[in-house]
Amino acid sequence: MQRADGRAADQIRPVSFELGIAPNATASVLVSMGNTRVICAVTVEETVPRWMKEQSMSGGWLTAEYSMLPYSTHTRKPRDIAKGKLDGRSSEIQRLIGRSLRAVVDLEKLGPRTMWIDCDVLQADGGTRTAAITGASLAVAIACRRLVDDKKLSAAPLRTLVAAVSAGILKDAPVLDLDYSEDKEVTVDFNLVGTEGGELVEVQGSGEEATFSAQQLDEMLVLGRKGIGDLVVAQRAVLAALG
Residue range(s) defining the domain that contains residue 132: 15-242
pLDDT, residue 74, reads 85
Whether 156 and 147 have beta carbons less than 8 Å apart is answered as yes
Alpha carbons 63 and 24: distance in angstroms, whole number = 18
Whether 222 and 3 have beta carbons less than 8 Å apart is answered as no
Whether 183 and 64 have beta carbons less than 8 Å apart is answered as no
> Within a domain: residue 238?
yes
pLDDT, residue 95, reads 96
Taking alpha carbons only, the member of 126, 135, 132 closest to residue 73 is 126
Residue 243 reports pLDDT greater than 90: no
> Within a domain: residue 2?
no
> Within a domain: residue 3?
no
Return the DSSP state at 82.
Answer: H
Whether 20 and 111 have beta carbons less than 8 Å apart is answered as no
Alpha carbons 57 and 179: distance in angstroms, whole number = 42
> Within a domain: residue 60?
yes
pLDDT, residue 217, reads 94
State pTM to two decimals: 0.95
> Within a domain: residue 88?
yes
Q: 153-164 b/e with 16+ CB inside 10 Å = b?
A: beebbbeebbbb
Give the relative orientation of helices 128-149 and 88-102 as an angle to the nearest 10 degrees.
40
pLDDT, residue 1, reads 66
Number of domains, the chain: 1
> Within a domain: residue 201?
yes
Taking alpha carbons only, the member of 33, 200, 11 closest to residue 103 is 200
Indicate which CATH number applies to the domain containing 180: 3.30.230.70
Residue-wise pLDDT for 105-150, tens only, equals 999 999 999 999 999 999 999 999 999 999 999 999 999 999 999 9
> Within a domain: residue 8?
no
> Within a domain: residue 7?
no
